[in-house]
Homo-oligomer: A and B are copies of this chain.
Amino acid sequence: MNIGVLVSGRGTNLQSIIDASENGRIKSKVVVVISNKKDAYALERARMHNIPGYFISSKNKSPEEYDAELIKILENYNVDFVVLAGYLKILTNMFIEKYYDKIINIHPALLPSFGGKGYYGEHVHEAVLKAGCKVSGCTVHFVRPEIDHGPIIIQKCVEVLDNDNAETLAERILPYEHESLIEAIKIIEEKNYMIDGMRVKILRWNN
């Protein structure tokens, strides 16, 4: 698959995809990286791997205009699969319809808990800690119009420790995000799944 990665931040999940692609663990390639933040370090990572990187400014654009620009770039690079790797801008329904079942998102908690509006970045982990949870984790799911909602491909659990703060918890979860994302892409590029309502079923377990 030709993957387009949408990012807003430092891009460690982007890096894990690039690495898995370069070392052959997945066959798909990241062909373009697009950020809604000008100074996202993810764009620098793209450059270092000779992957085209774009910043699209939101200034004076409706969400629809913004996503139309996004689509134009994705089409230029023949992107057939989109990964949201810490992309904090809300996608329009138009975009989601266009890439239906072709967009995945990684979320740093066990959805449906701690998802939805306002639950991004460290706010997720702060909420997990405030709720007193003893486990958290991460979720890779197909994207549907409702935020942080959609058929789940992979979830992994991570222990919450008594002395955790949002930062230490985020750090402990991050490697599981990387691994989950690669496992999910592998499942999808091998067409090793079917979607049944909200359930994603794996056809063959061959890892």
Contacts and interface: CB of A to CB of B under 8 A. Distances in A.
Contacts of A132: 141, 151-152, 197-200
A131 B198 contact: yes
A135 B112 contact: no
Contacts of A155: 133-135
A101 B156 CA distance: 31
A200 B162 CA distance: 8
Contacts of A152: 131-134
Q: How large is the interface on A (under 10, 10 to 19, 20 to 34, 35 or more residues)?
A: 20 to 34
A40 interface: no
Given A132-B197, A134-B152, A162 B202 contact: yes
Given A162-B202, A201-B162, A134 B113 contact: no
Interface string A88-115: 0000000000000000000000111100
11 contacts: A112-B133, A130-B198, A132-B152, A132-B199, A133-B155, A134-B139, A134-B153, A134-B154, A135-B155, A135-B156, A135-B157
